[in-house]
A and B are shown apart, each in its own frame.
Chain A
Amino acid sequence: MSETTSDIGDGRAAPAFARREIWGVLAMSLGPVLAAFVLSGLILLLMQVNPFSYYGYVFGRGLFSPTGVQATLTRMGPLLLLAASLIVAFRAGIWNLGGDAQFLVGAVFAAAWTPLMVAHVPVWGALLAGMAVSAGFGALWGLVPAFLRAYQGLNEIITTLMMNFLGLSLASVLVKLVFLDPATTVPQTRTLPVEDRLPTLGGTTISSGLLIGLVAVLAVHFVMTRTAFGLRLRVVGANAGAAVHAGLAVPALTVAVFAISAGFAGLSGGVAILGQYGNVRADWNPAYAMSVVPLVFLARFNGFAAIGFVALFSILSIGSESAARRMGVPNYFTLVTVAILLIVLGLAEYWGARRRQKAGV
């Protein structure tokens, strides 16, 4: 990835240059967004739907209605934690595509133990322990591909994809056989009472998972861009051979990256359960991680940009869910929009590189 190499040295850029850089980044990010909306609007026209009224409705529901915006902000929490997870991994050159399983394993263990703990310890203690459990089991699930990559050189794309299938099945086996709520006939875990869940933000229904997610993304961004540890990870990601020559312990760093990344993914599952859902039903898989992968790419692994894209995606997905019922456009349409966005972004990057090459920079 050219991004990871190019921003290793720009930590202390001159202010004027930095300002021009910010405008450039904004133009490079917002231009493709606009182009993608125009292109998907054309598809809506083909489906004989007025794009202005469709997007008007989607943004009206997802952003400008009180219930909609609260749902959007609540959904952002787990998505932001996944963004943090992916930024760490991708910046370190590790393609962790197993976020969905890490998310679910974390969610299932948090859902299994928190309702039991709540009866014996103070609520805040149970919630903290539940989050620690989810992060711990998420990280544990990430350790297998970590060791295979670090010590046996196995490509992590294949192992994380496999751990994904394995984890999805394991999660539903655990829900159906081990952590089953004896009080219900539906296969699901015990439900955490609403009053024992993560506190909501001042008088709204927004889960405080949002704050946890924001803190995580910003912390990850800071660590990756401003600390020696982050620099080490980026060197490993940019050129593992050079990292070995520089005396970095590449295998240990690889394992650390996996543990952090999978831990955030597990925590994301925990926050989704403890803040919003309260239990895990059998075969539940929101596949958030696969939706966040393109968003993190769109953000070019930048934490601030990731917050923006996660917000946009949450608005679109909440809005399109109600638009599906009202306007007859299925919410798969969001998938098409995101795909177009990715391709347009790739093209913008290509043209940008061509222009720089021609200018001889």
Chain B
Amino acid sequence: MKKDLIIAILPLSLLLSSLTPTVLGATVEEQQIDLQVREIAKTLRCTICQNESIWESQAELAQQMRDLIRERLLKGESPDQIRAYFLSRYGDYILLTPQKSGMNWILWAGPFVLLAGGGILLYRTVSRWVAQTAAAKQDDLPPIDDRLRKRIEEELHSRED
């Protein structure tokens, strides 16, 4: 009886042990595809939403775009190829982060250029103010008459008291 049971279980366990790596492999691959879909979808703008990526959006178009990304990944396309496809259909608008090329450099460099320009302008203006209000020399000061000197001394004494 025991022998029969072993004979019955053995092929089944062999079959299962041969299938497990395949199933695990498929699951791992599926997870990798999911991660890639997420990675790509997070960089693409939902064209009918307000400032949302197609990963975050619940719109039907966003869902269809995610499905299309998955389909293309399964066909063997790389994330860059898929992004290039969307770019070829919708232009720069589809990218949540503008490309660092052409006129887009104004977007990337503009704030830093303005900051640097503003800093230089501020430095020059402040330097000019400082130069114009430099500490006066002793000779340039108006003379103190006796009456003023007496008043100063009185005020100093009153503070000491």
A binds B: no
Interface residues of B (CB under 8 A from A): none
Interface residues of A (CB under 8 A from B): none
